[in-house]
Structure 1
Amino acid sequence: MKLTLPPQLDSTREVIDDDSRRIIIIGANGSGKTRFTERLVEETGMSMPVFRISALNALYRADSTDTLEGSVDVLYEAATERSPFMRSDHHTQFERVMALLLLDEVLHLLLHKHSGGRMEPTCLDRVISAWQEVFPDSRILRESGRLLFSRKEDDSAYSQMRLSDGEKAVLYTFGAAVLAPEDAVMFVDSPGMFLHPSVMGMIWDKVESLRPECTWVYTTHDVEFMTSRVRPDVIWVRGYDAEAQRWDYAVLPAGTPLDDEIYTTIVGARKPVLFIEGDGTHSIDAKLYPLVFTNYTVRSLGSCNKVIEATRTFNDLNSFHHLDSHGIVDRDRRDAHEVAYLRKKRIFVPDVAEIENILMLEDVVRAVARHFHRNDDRVFDRVRKSVINMFRGELKQQALMHTRHRVKRMVEYRIDGRFPSIDKLEQHMADLVNALRPRDIYNGLVRDFRGYAEGGDYQSILRVYNQKSMVGQSNVAELCGLKNHDAYVAAIIEILKEDSPEADSIRRAVTRCFGITDDEASAKLSENSISEID
């Protein structure tokens, strides 16, 4: 199978030439993917049979006719002209498909009666068989030239018009598939329409199995459907030049391993991408970072491991989407070597332990205080003393947690080696405690942490202090005239939505926390070039 795709912006054309027989055209709403598909149908139809399937149009739209040779509408109109058995008052494609299936049944019966030969399965037989595989509790009955449906637990029968929209969509799709021309390129619009996600993949597997010789081209923005197909070629339509009738698109080779979150990001992204931790709805990360990195599409992925993996995968596919991408993960208890490694992988790590500590940066606290007409010197001085005292009280506990993290990393590194025998591995493991010297690490951290507390090194404390209740326990909200922790967070978010000196001060404080230290670098960041600052 070989398909030549519509022209790109530079007038060149991509060609898909493989045996996958599954192609997915995907793009955000308004990207031009429907026009792209129409152009592909038009040009493909010049050299091979094409066939359209659209459950939405089949069930509801009767104001247009599909004039493609071999289409449902063309087959129906031809049948009404030549067959006395065919009614001519069916208006929707759903009704027409049902009528064509019943006509095929009648013609096969007549042919069998006259020839007396062995009767092959009809199109309707194939549809009924597929239907009962998908809906094992539903029965289809032939009665007086019509179809009736019933449930196993209910003897009452009803017509096809009383089926749900989802059932009608499945019945129409099965019927249209078996009626299509041989070796056709099957263009399917919105394949997930009316179908529950739990059965969508199974249904389309069955549809494809009805016509294994055909090539299936799906147009959708449903990422869940796309990930249900096995090794499809994916055409990502990013934009459309209506005047020139050319498209900005890229072809992703079959079998490229991407999960639905990455696909969603790629398809929906119009700007560079910034992957962050958190749930995307309630996390502070998701509320704060889009207002700081305003020229980026910010996408929450949950865990830090998912952020790291997504950033790597996204950048591996740069030739496909041409978008810059970075990730942000909390520093937590990572040491300087771990931070440097992540930054080489385009993962930003702040100079504070976690997202809550960003809210406690000196310039952030001062900006909120000024916004609510408080003396920012007095407010920050009290917050600073409170945080230092909190840290002093938990100093040994924090040092122990940092020690555990470092030892864990060192153990993972040291045992990830090659050993010629189990004896060598056991000997290596027995020597680990002496080699790692956890007590020395702990004592060194206690000395460093005590120095931070005694020297009033507020910034260093924020870098190593993992304490999610810091905002609440420090009384920063009350000192700024706010009710509680949530009100303080909300105030920062609202300030960032304004065009004010306080918003600029907060934004600069956050970007500086990621190692961006001057106005020029901040301007580059806003212009889509974090990579230039790494």
Structure 2
Amino acid sequence: MIEEKDYKYILPGENNNPVEYQVKCHSMIIIGANGSGKSQLGAWIEKNNPNDTHRIGAQRALTFGNYIQQKSYEQATNLIIYGQENPTGEHNQRWGWDGEKWNYTSSLLNDYENVLSALVALQINQQEQFIKDCKLREKNGETHNVVPEMVIDKLQRIWKSVFPHRDIVIEDGKVLAGFEKDGQYYEYKGRDMSDGERVGLYLMAQSLCVPSDKTIIIDEPEIHLHRSIMNKLWEAIEAEREDCFFIYITHDTQFASNHKNSKKIWIKGFDGITWEWEEVQNSELPEQLLLDILGNRKPVLFVEGTHDSYDTKLYSEIYKDYYVVPCGSCSSVISQTKAMNSNAQLHNFKCFGIIDRDYRTDYEIEAYKEDNIFTLEVAEVENLFLTEELLQVVNRIMGFPDNSRIENVKKYIIEERFREEINKQICEAVVSELKYRLSVANISKRNEEKAKETLNKLFEEIDYDTIKTEQMTKFERVLETQTYKNVLRVFNCKSLSTSIGHFFKLDNKDYRDFIVRQIKGKRASDIIDAIIPYLPNEIPIECN
């Protein structure tokens, strides 16, 4: 039976007194917004447990010479652990003194050559120990063991898992990298490696040279590393150092969420002396989204669409005080808004959802408001590009002397588009209402008879002809009154906003992008003011 190792670490408790915790998992990730005191917390952990902690700061020099300086293992290890060959005093000399205080979080770590020296010294120590053991066994007439795996073997294994198409060789006091291409082998000096390769080698060597059973703290483990290799690197390093506990300090939520089986700590605040923190709990929200929300510390606005869709482009400019989260479908907006509002860990965060009006009934729209989910005053987000107020702004930007073009657009949308498609709109509205009524029915999943009874009752209550008559009356009244604003409120046609650019001497396909460009420039306030009347007034534009 294999016993799992228990790892211990400390965090500040009441009055910043160190409190010890114990876990089975191999690592912990500390996340928080910029300025939340993450790096200071890493320094605090180191200062309060210096003998068992080794911290790799965020500021790292990545240069080294052509040859590795030869030092004893004790010399080199002292230099990377304490910053001096013969450590004295209570302060770690690695962090430097600026004349007033020790720079625990802002000092540049310029120890690459010492790290390589320690790596080579450790390899030599292991080789010497093996030779010594072999000689002793031969003297006693015993067969000696096969050559064991040594530190550079481990480094090369980590390297290959991260950079599979590159070799790393450390021999004769040199670092060399190489690769094969078209049947030929190309070699280059270690100092000429890419930033990613050099920082990878540095972190591998640092982690392998640290003495046993340490807590290794890495501030900003993502620096100079492409996201595709970050988790590979740290998982490979952890696998080689199962004796150590790893603490990562980061604001990269993708790294944090992809690093599985790791405890996550969220820094809620730091007043310069004490930290407010808590463990990240399980949530119905995707973990990366949860970490993003915690790290941003802004009110959250869930919207339809993707990162590149017009929903996100518009809302991100209008709701600048919010963390805008594109969810894809309207059902995802609804589910994620509900999940966040029910998450006790996020109770201090304001959270809203915006969805298209589509063909929703007033009853459905009011029901969603209970969960802080609100609808637009137009049928869909694309119709925001068609509001009369916005058309007036475009007209002014293009320098046209009168409003004739605006009137032509309105006439085109009402007479040539809405009138021609009204029967299709009525049909889709009827189907939408039927789907909604079925979706909210409370049908039992455990009792077949009760489920059947509920369903039969629901069918009795749904009168197709009544629903169709109501929808026909609504749409025909809108057409009859010729009120442009009401047409935009009920007319669902995503291609509509790509058909009116020519009225303003713009390319039809470029019209929406033209608006997006304007909202990012000097006309931003005019564009936003033209759209605001069609947004839910329950969601404040500015959050204090």
**Secondary structure at the residue paired with 1:212?**
coil
**In 2, distance between residues paired with 1:261 and 1:419?**
33
| Other-structure match for 1:279 | 306
Match of 2:63 among 54, 60, 63: 60
SS at match of 1:106: helix
Superposed CA RMSD: 4.4
Q: Deviations over 1:44-73 (max 9, x none)?
A: 32xx501134697263389xxxx9996662
Equivalence for 2:121: 100
Whether contact under 8 Å (1:59, 1:94) holds in the other structure is: no
Distance in structure 1 (CA, Å) of the matches to 2:191 and 2:76: 28
CA displacement 1:303-356 (0-9 Å, x = unmatched): 334433443444445645833221212122222233223222222211221012
- 2:375 pairs with 1:349: yes
Cα displacement string for residues 282-321 of structure 1 (whole angstroms, at most 9, x for unaligned residues): x332333344334334343443344334434444456458
Task: Give the alignment partner of residue 463 of structure 1, picking from 481, 489, 505.
Answer: 489
Structure 1 residue 184, shift from structure 2 partner: 1.2
Instruction: Name the counterpart of 2:436.
Output: 409
Q: Distance in 2 between matches of 1:250 and 1:5?
A: 9
Which shifted more, 490-499 or 48-57?
Answer: 490-499
Structure 2 partner of 1:84: none
- 8 A contact 1:130–1:206 mirrored in 2: yes
Partner of 1:311: 337
SS at match of 2:216: strand
Which residue identity does 1:181 align to in structure 2?
Answer: P
Structure 2 Cα separation of the partners of residues 144 and 486 of structure 1 = 62
Q: Is the 8 A contact 2:80 2:115 kept in 1?
A: no
Deviation, structure 1 residue 427: 9.5
- Separation (CA, whole Å) in 1 of partners of 2:203 and 2:525: 59
TM-fit CA distance, 1:18: 4.2
Query: Quick check: 1:528 aligned with 2:543?
Result: yes
2:151 matches 1:123: yes
Structure 1 portions without partners, runs of 5+: 80-89, 517-521, 530-534
TM superposition shift of 1:208: 1.1
**Aligned residue for 1:398?**
425
Look up the match of 2:218.
188
Partners of 1:198 and 1:501 in 2: CA distance:
40
Contact 2:443-2:451 at 8 Å conserved across structures? no
Q: Are residues 1:73 and 2:96 paired?
A: no
Corresponding residue for residue 534 of structure 2:
510
Provide closer, same or farther for how the CA distance between residues 291 and 143 of structure 1 changes in structure 2, counting only shifts above 3 A: closer
| Cα offsets for 1:169-203 (capped at 9, x unmatched) | 44443333333233211111332334443333233
1:17 to 14, 21, 33: 21
8 Å Cα contact 2:190-2:198 kept in structure 1:
yes
Please say if residues 218 and 246 of structure 2, whose CA atoms lie closer than 8 Å, have aligned partners that are also in contact.
Answer: yes
**In 1: Cα distance, 2:440 partner to 2:42 partner:** 51
1:25 to 1:312, Cα distance in 2 relative to 1, 3 A: same
Larger CA deviation: 313-322 vs 390-399: 313-322
Distance in 2, Cα, partners of 1:317 & 1:418: 26
Q: Give the counterpart of 2:54 among 44, 51, 54.
A: 51
Contact 1:55/1:169 (CA < 8 Å) preserved in 2?
A: no
CA 1:35–1:418: 2 relative to 1, 3 Å: closer
Opposite residue 205 of structure 2, the aligned amino acid is G
Q: Is the 1:311–1:326 Cα contact (8 Å) retained in structure 2?
A: yes
Q: What is the TM-score of this pair, normalised by structure 1?
A: 0.75
SS at match of 2:62: helix
How many Å separate the matches in 1 of 2:468 and 2:18? 60
The one-letter code matched in structure 2 to 1:304 is C
Unaligned runs of 5+ in 2: 1-6, 66-73, 87-110, 138-143
Structure 2 equivalent of residue 87 of structure 1: none
Task: State the alpha-carbon separation in 2 of the partners of residues 146 and 98 from structure 1.
Answer: 12
CA distance in structure 2 between the aligned counterparts of 1:246 and 1:76, rounded to whole angstroms: 26
The more displaced of 345-354 and 433-442 is: 433-442
Identity of aligned residues (%): 25
Change (3 A) 1:95 1:470: same
Structure 2 length-normalised TM: 0.73
Q: How does 1:127-276 map to 2 (within 5 A)?
A: 127-132=155-160, 164-237=194-267, 241=271, 245-246=272-273, 249-253=276-280, 255-256=282-283, 258-267=286-295, 269=296, 271-276=298-303
Which of 18, 33, 42 lines up with 2:47 in the alignment?
Answer: 42
Deviates more, 1:135-144 or 1:23-32: 135-144
1:59 match: secondary structure: coil
CA distance in 2: counterparts of 1:492 and 1:147, whole angstroms: 51
User: What amino acid maps onto 1:276 in structure 2?
Assistant: V
Question: What letter matches 1:73 in structure 2?
Answer: I
**In structure 2, distance between residues paired with 1:194 and 1:323:** 32
Partner residue in 2 for 1:490: 514
Distance 1:499 1:164 in 2: 43
Partner of residue 5, structure 1: 11
